[in-house]
Amino acid sequence: MMDRRLIRETSFGLTNKLWQISWTYVVLLCALAGVGYVALFSAAGGSPEPYASRHVLRFAFGLGLMLSIALVDIRFIARLSWLLYVLGIGLLVLVLRMGHVGKGAQRWLELGSLQLQPSELMKIFLILALAAWFHRASWERIGNPLFLIPPALAVLLPVGLILKEPNLGTAVITACIGATVFIAAGVRWWKFALLAGLVGFAAPIAYTHLHDYQRARIDTFLNPETDPLGAGYNIIQSKIALGSGGMWGKGFLQGTQGHLNFLPEKQTDFIFTMLAEEFGLVGSLALLGLLCLIVLGGMAIALRCRHQYGRLVAVGIATNFFLYVFVNIAMVMGVIPVGGVPLPLVSHGGSAMITTMVGFGILMSVHVHRDVEFGDDQDER
């Protein structure tokens, strides 16, 4: 009798949680993945192979994973925060020792036929760890510089390990995510202004210690025409494709820069450029609007959450998504140096897809459990 009652209560709880999921947000993610399918179908010359079909399978798996994580109590995830952080650090160390080397960088772990990029997971784990550190802290504790040393070291450690791969773009994004969680927790702005000044002062020194290809990216960004057939080729072709799309674009499967193979890495880093060429300014703005709705939806989940842990996690995950979008689109437009960052849920790639969906699963868990009792969010720890 008790077993039947427990089963009914568990079933009711899961059903209630499923109703609590923001299905509008899920539809937005599916729409973005649909844009990715269209783009990858075009990138393969009008064929679902080899990119679009894999994209659908990965998204379907990621969607199931996201919904499963959404049903997990956010308090259980909070208890695992620092354990997951330690796991992420271990994976980063492991990838430096025995990771797969590709294009001059050691960033992936080979798991059979799959490749895992630990730096992607580390960003999610870092958000969880910082949220766990700050969510019970009082304003007085947050204003104490000594209280900020452990979380600052928690940010610098993975950033340093990611830089050693080397992966400058992801390292910068990881640092920015950490700074955003600090600010959302209530750390004063002037401390970051001081830090930004120190970074600006040290930038010329850091430039001399960059890898040759990293310095070439910066030099190309400043003046791509100096080497139009070498280091500057990618960004020049990207700008040509962006401009040639005009207002309405050349039409689906009609992009000359992409289909005549002038546009490099059109299925990954430069996929936004290919879409802009085929669908023009109107199509580009529509895609940007969809991306903005996803970011704003994540921030809305943060605002509606009643506990500090969930608010900080939601802000961090929404910021992670925003930074990927910003860096990718700014990169292909020549606003910032090329950094090899994909457009989430649109570009081809399994590791980025799955980690993005894991992040959205945790975000959805925050939404589903937005009213749970965490105890006092502030104490005198």
Residue 216: other Cβ atoms inside 10 A: 17
Residue-wise DSSP of 35-55: HHHHHHHHHTTS-STTTHHHH
Domain-wise residue ranges, the chain = 25-368
pTM of the model: 0.88
From residue 46, how far is each of 105, 259, 350 by CA, in Å? Answer: 32, 10, 21
pLDDT in tens, the chain (381 residues): 445 554 444 444 778 888 899 999 999 999 999 999 999 999 998 899 989 999 999 999 999 999 999 999 999 999 999 999 999 999 999 988 876 665 555 577 776 666 788 889 999 999 999 999 999 888 888 888 899 999 999 999 999 999 888 787 888 899 999 999 999 998 877 666 666 666 666 666 666 656 666 666 666 555 665 556 555 777 888 888 888 888 999 999 888 887 777 777 788 888 999 999 999 999 999 999 999 999 999 999 999 999 999 999 999 999 999 999 999 999 888 887 777 788 999 998 878 899 999 999 999 999 999 999 886 544 444
Supply 340's token pair: 């090899």
Supply 40's token pair: 């990858």
d(CA 210, CA 175): 17
Q: Give the contacts of 241 (CB within 8 A, at least 6 positions apart).
A: 255, 257, 258, 262, 263, 270, 273, 274, 276, 277
